[in-house]
Amino acid sequence: MKKLLLTGIACAVLTTLGAASQGADKKTLAFVVNGSSDFWKAAEAGVKKAQSELPNYNLVFKYPEQSSAAIQTRMMDDLVASGVAGIMVSAVDPKTMGDALNRVGSQVALFTTDSDAPNSKRIAYIGSSNTDAGKQAGQLLLKALPNGGKCMGFVGLPGADNARERIDGVKETIKGSKIELIDVRADDIDQTRAKRNVEDMLTAHPEVNCMIGFYSYNTPSIYSVLKDAGKLGQITIVGFDEDPITLGGVKEGTIVGTVVQQPYEWGYQGMKDMAKYLEGDKSFIPANHLIIVPTKIIDKTNVDAFWTELKARQGKK
């Protein structure tokens, strides 16, 4: 009896050690964003979906406590030190983070999303063509302002490729028209400052009859300030991304439209592709190392259908 008991204990210990070893063998993949914003909830849902299909990996989603290149760099260095196998990152400032990204990319599989860093050691970019997205926003402006207008833009990180490319796309599309983008104000992903920027411009530039929110939270800030000022419907608003306030404004007609990305796919496809890469499959990487997930225009004609799809993906009713 004693022998049987000892044998049972030994088996239990071996089983426990085997399970621990199996858990320790799992590779960790991290998705690192550029700041705290509801925009990233869709990407987080995509990562969660990927986790259900990648049982041999541990997937983590990381928000920096502040939108800072230094803080984001420290976060990636800590992840590398902890033994992660791959990182997908939306770099706060790709131009100043070159050395840091190269350091990370020389140690783990590095992919970029949202804002690319093409001169770094990243393996591929998975995300939108921000230039095309900017052109789509420009198309919304041309349709909404056939007689021209003076527009003010608002953005989080003007040095990031996603911001610069969106702005350039808008400018390229409205070139030669009577629409002018007179300025773009930055807020460093500080939402209090984002709102204050709109308030300041409303006072300093009464001639402005059009506002563009280039980051996901910028359009809700515009909406809130104009609502408080009693100017909703008087100033044309064009946005980016799918914040609920933005979609509500599109539905009620106070926002002309918004150009939406597919961050859910960045999270889902990005994690799956990183796993493929680590397993030796590089066939999915195109020659230009750009995996483009298309953007689309959401206006009053398709906002209800889009919102229903978005809620379903995020597990909401």
| pLDDT tens by residue, 251-301 | 999 999 999 999 999 999 999 999 999 999 999 999 999 999 999 999 999
Residue 305 maps to a domain: no
**Beta bridge mates, 298:** 258
- Same structural domain, 196 and 256: yes
Domain membership of residue 49 (yes or no) is: yes
Q: How many whole angstroms separate alpha carbon 96 and alpha carbon 114?
A: 17
Looking at the fold, whether 141 and 234 belong to one and the same domain comes out as: yes
Distance between CA 223 and CA 154 in Å, rounded?
A: 12
pLDDT tens profile 48-98: 999 999 999 999 999 998 889 999 999 999 999 999 999 999 999 888 999
Residue where a domain terminates, one of 215, 244, 260: 260
Decide if 32 contacts 72 (C-beta within 8 A): yes
Instruction: Tell me, yes or no, whether 140 and 120 share the same domain.
Output: no
pLDDT band at 11 (very low <50, low <70, confident <90, very high): very low
- In DSSP terms, 235 is beta-bridged to 232
End-of-domain residue from the set 260, 275, 310:
260
Q: CA nearest 271: which of 64, 43, 14?
A: 43
Token pair 């997908």: residue? 88
The answer to whether residues 281 and 218 belong to one domain is no
Say if residue 79 is in the same domain as residue 149. no
Tell me the residue range of the domain where 157 lies: 130-260
**Which residue, 79, 129, 131, is CA-closest to 107?**
79
161 and 61 share a domain? no
Q: 253 with 145, same domain?
A: yes
The residues, ordered by sequence, that sit 6+ positions from 220 with a Cβ below 8 Å of its Cβ are 213, 243, 245, 246
pLDDT category at 1 given cuts 50, 70, 90 is very low
Looking at the domain assignment, is residue 37 inside a domain? Answer: yes
**Distance of alpha carbon 263 from alpha carbon 33, whole angstroms:** 11
What CATH number corresponds to the domain at position 29? 3.40.50.2300
Same domain, 219 and 253: yes
Shared domain for 245 and 276, answered yes or no, is no
Does residue 105 sit in the same domain as residue 202? no
Print the SS3 string covering the chain.
Answer: CHHHHHHHHHHHHHHHHHHHHHHHCCEEEEEECCCCCHHHHHHHHHHHHHHHHCCCEEEEEECCCCCCHHHHHHHHHHHHHCCCCEEEECCCCCCCCHHHHHHHHCCCEEEECCCCCCCCCCCEEEECCHHHHHHHHHHHHHHHCCCCEEEEEEECCCCCHHHHHHHHHHHHHHCCCCEEEEEEEECCCCHHHHHHHHHHHHHHCCCCCEEEECCCCHHHHHHHHHHHCCCECCEEEEEECCCHHHHHHHHHCCCCEEEECCHHHHHHHHHHHHHHHHCCCCCCCCCCCEEECCCEEECCCCHHHHHHHHHHHCCCC
When pLDDT is averaged across residues 209-238 and rounded to a whole number, the result is 97
User: What per-residue confidence (pLDDT) applies to 220?
Assistant: 97
What percent of the chain has a predicted confidence (pLDDT) above 90? 84
Counted domains in the chain: 2
d(CA 109, CA 122): 8
Tell me, yes or no, whether 184 lies in a domain.
yes
222 vs 215: CA distance, rounded Å: 11
In a domain, 57, yes or no: yes
Do the domain assignments include residue 292? no
Domain annotation covers residue 1:
no
User: Are both 147 and 252 inside the same structural domain?
Assistant: yes
Note whether residue 50 is domain-resident: yes
Q: Are residues 100 and 145 in the same domain?
A: no
